[in-house]
Structure 1
Amino acid sequence: MNQEADLNLDQSTLVHAWQQQLPEYLNPGDSFQVEPDQGNPQALRIHIDAAGRQFYSFDFQCAYMDEREVKVELVDVERDGVTVNEQSEKIQEMTGDYVRHLHECAQALHKITKPS
């Protein structure tokens, strides 16, 4: 398999598809934004506001490695607008859950990312 993502993915199509699909994989009450990554045409920026009273928000970069696999990286975690320690057990657990959900969403969107 080609190491570099050499895909003809239209970012605006991907953004729209992720906006439609992602709610199925998030927790009830979570809200999110999906935007194109300005520095990488094969990537998206995903912002998730976690449900609940703790006011956590997570920013991820989701880069396509091939038509099915994405590399998800945590960019930032904030609580009520202030950056928090990403190494705490609670944050690690929440991050792991969101990374898994993002991978599941990418798998579900294979129908639009696979080559014609």
Structure 2
Amino acid sequence: MSKIDTLNISQTSLVEEWKKRLPEVLNSSDQARVWADEADSNALRVHITTAGHSMYTFDFKVTYVDSREVKVEVIDVEQEQKHIDERHGVVQNLLDDYVRHIHECAQILHQVTHA
């Protein structure tokens, strides 16, 4: 007998929790925006802007697979408002860090997502 583990929080409340908690796991100089994914009630969108002169921006879709696990998809990476190949060097390292930070934020939010 399996119990279905579903997300038991409204998307609006989830977005508010992410807005509060995500800055705690990012570098203090990075900026993040979080909003609801209008096409998927179990997902939200995250936009991160790096600090400094590199002018990188990263867009992610974060989908709750269940009340604890998230799937993180890279939607776009830009430098100075131009799309770039994210598979190389420093950009790949930043991308890996941000994906890890997003998973950390999801773990912190287990207390509200896994009721």
Give the TM-score band, short-chain normalised. over 0.9
Corresponding position of 2:95: 95
Q: Secondary structure at the residue paired with 2:54?
A: coil
Q: Secondary structure at the residue paired with 1:17?
A: helix
Structure 1 residue 27 corresponds to structure 2 residue 27: yes
1:58-102 deviations in whole A, cap 9, x for unaligned?
A: 000000011111001110000111111111121111000000000
Note the residue ranges of structure 2 that are not aligned, 5 or more in a row.
none
Shift of 1:13: 0.3
Counterpart of 1:9, as a letter, is: I
Shift of 1:7: 2.5
Q: How does 1:26-105 map to 2 (within 5 A)?
A: 26-105=26-105
Structure 2: distance between partners of 1:6 and 1:69: 10
Q: How does 1:97-116 map to 2 (within 5 A)?
A: 97-115=97-115
Shift of 1:2: 7.1
1:36-64 deviations in whole A, cap 9, x for unaligned?
A: 01111000000000111110000000000
Task: Check the 8 A contact 1:63/1:70 in 2, yes or no.
Answer: yes
Task: Check the 8 A contact 1:68/1:110 in 2, yes or no.
Answer: yes
User: TM-score, normalization: structure 1?
Assistant: 0.92
Aligned-pair RMSD on alpha carbons? 1.6
Structure 2: distance between partners of 1:85 and 1:54: 14
Runs of 4+ with deviation above 6 angstroms: none
Note the residue ranges of structure 1 that are not aligned, 5 or more in a row.
none
- Pick closer, same or farther for the CA change 1:15–1:53 going to 2, 3 Å: same
